[in-house]
Structure 1
Amino acid sequence: MDNPFFKPTPDHLRELVLDYLCHQSYTDTARAFAQESTSRKVDEDKSEEVLPEKILKLVQLRREIKRSIMSGRVEEATQLLNEHFPAVLDETSEDPPPPHSSNSRIHFISQTSVKPIHLSLNLRILSFIESTRTIPLEYPPNKSRPPSRFRYLDDPDLTTKHQDELLHRAQKLYAEVASLANQKDRETYLKELTHVGGLLAYREPEKSPLIKYLSQERRSAVADQVNSAILYRTGRPAISHLELYARYTSALWSFMHDLHVPLPPAASRPPGVSLPPNTPITAPSKASGPAEKESSEVVPLFNLQQLLNLR
């Protein structure tokens, strides 16, 4: 088994960090880390790129798209998608082959849809939500400057015109959702539009019971879904290997904990191996001999947050 997850080498730590930085769209940090952590062998061969600019360009584009969505500039993000990643919103695009870098038996299946029709609708609904705002939501937030209302609210004629435009956009969304071929999709999106359309009933929706639809979390959810779809369409894993291994470890330890698998004796553990921070739990034991007592503790749960807090 040649998977680095099972047979790690010193270089795998560097690869894990670099993969994580690229997945999170930290372009400058990834470039600097790649250059500073390059081995001497690569330094001697100047013809070999530390981190191909082609990859960095894709990372930067994903970052720009995500930032546009997080800032509420949905049309700008859609334009970037159509220009650089057209398959993401193209309903005729075929499913790509499995990620080329995934040679393991450990895979992650995204819980969010990567279907173009779903992504397109989610972006359009978010765009509609953004157009109902009366108070800007800055990203990143500027705490030193209090939010101000849009100027058109002070002009009755402009307010009426804006409401008419919103109503027209809502009608177009309803028509598109009603034409969906999949009945379950129709029901799901019609229910969503019913709630979102309620924003039109309030002069200042930020002060209404529907304020949750105007939250930054809403933007973040769509941005993450689009980012996963870009990775999927470009043949990349939906999450970084570091997150995948953390999820795998957490699930594996949780499974063994639920089955009350006893811990192996300390003497049989590899040198340098320590248990994750947790409260030991004693497994029910029928015997009471010394050997049984030594292995009476069960495998603890793996709490990643608790582990990180100790570092």
Structure 2
Amino acid sequence: MFPAGIHSNSYFGYLVVNDDDLHSVVLSYLVHNCYKETVESFTSCTEMKRPADCLEDMEKRKRIFRFALEGNALKAIELTQELAQDLLEKNPDLHFDLLSLHFVELICSRKCTEALEFAQSKLAPFGKVQKYVAKLEDFMALLAYEEPEKSPMFHLLSLEYRQHVTDSLNHAILENANLPSYSAMERLIQQATVVRQCLSQEQGKVMEC
């Protein structure tokens, strides 16, 4: 698989990577994650051409994600519908998750009556579909605890859950705009992980022989 006398781990040190390719990977990551100011600086320093309308698109996505991460999911939904009118209609799972963020925010603010009313009007209709039933039960169970942060469903209140929903929203918006839903860097890491796993398995087989 590798040239004679060269270990797989050191072989990659012989590979030459084009600077333009590296720049493209970095730019893809920055655009994907809405680092607008850094994109401007990076493209200026490297004399790269900015993707068409990328700065305006990043600013819109960045606003949406900021609202979602800060707990203002209803505003994030509103802006998402302005940016991509039928996106949430085509992605009910994502729509449910965003609505659940608002429900969780009401729970954390101890607005239990408002949370119950919101659940009945916005979340309950999802219960007609079997795959949402268990999720609904978990969210509704939060109402039973005076300190929901100490409940078995505490992970639904975490920043990690909010980040997960926000990442899913980012991927959906990019995909809806016919753009890569994952950055080139993410794909490279995924591919490198698979390659390393395959190499480890092959080396294990060789050692067994």
Deviation at 1:24? Answer: 1.5
Divergent runs of 4+, >6 A: none
Instruction: Confirm or deny that 1:120 pairs with 2:95.
Output: yes
Contact map agreement 2:34 2:59 (CA 8 A) in 1: yes
| CA distance in structure 2 between the aligned counterparts of 1:86 and 1:238, rounded to whole angstroms | 18
Letter in 2 for 1:230: I
Deviation at 1:213? Answer: 1.5
1:90 corresponding residue in structure 2:
89
TM-score, reference length from structure 2 = 0.83
Larger Rg: 1
Deviation at 1:232? Answer: 0.7
| CA distance in structure 2 between the aligned counterparts of 1:90 and 1:173, rounded to whole angstroms | 14
Structure 2 gap ranges (5+): 1-14
Structure 1 gap ranges (5+): 1-5, 40-49, 92-115, 135-152, 154-161, 180-185, 263-281, 286-311
Note the aligned Cα RMSD (angstroms): 2.4
Deviation at 1:56? Answer: 1.1
Q: Deviations over 1:203-252 (max 9, x none)?
A: 33234443222111110110011011011101111211122112112202
Instruction: Confirm or deny that 1:225 pairs with 2:168.
Output: yes
Task: Give SS of 2:146's match.
Answer: coil
| CA distance in structure 2 between the aligned counterparts of 1:88 and 1:187, rounded to whole angstroms | 22
Contact map agreement 1:87 1:233 (CA 8 A) in 2: no
1:15 corresponding residue in structure 2:
24
Instruction: Confirm or deny that 1:283 pairs with 2:207.
Output: yes
TM-score, reference length from structure 1 = 0.57
For 1:40-79, list aligned pairs within 5 A.
50-52=49-51, 54-79=53-78
Instruction: Confirm or deny that 1:170 pairs with 2:119.
Output: yes
Structure (1 or 2) with the greater helix fraction: 2
For 1:1-311, list aligned pairs within 5 A.
9-38=18-47, 50-52=49-51, 54-91=53-90, 116-134=91-109, 162-173=111-122, 175-179=124-128, 186-260=129-203, 283-285=207-209
Question: How many corresponding residue pairs?
Answer: 195
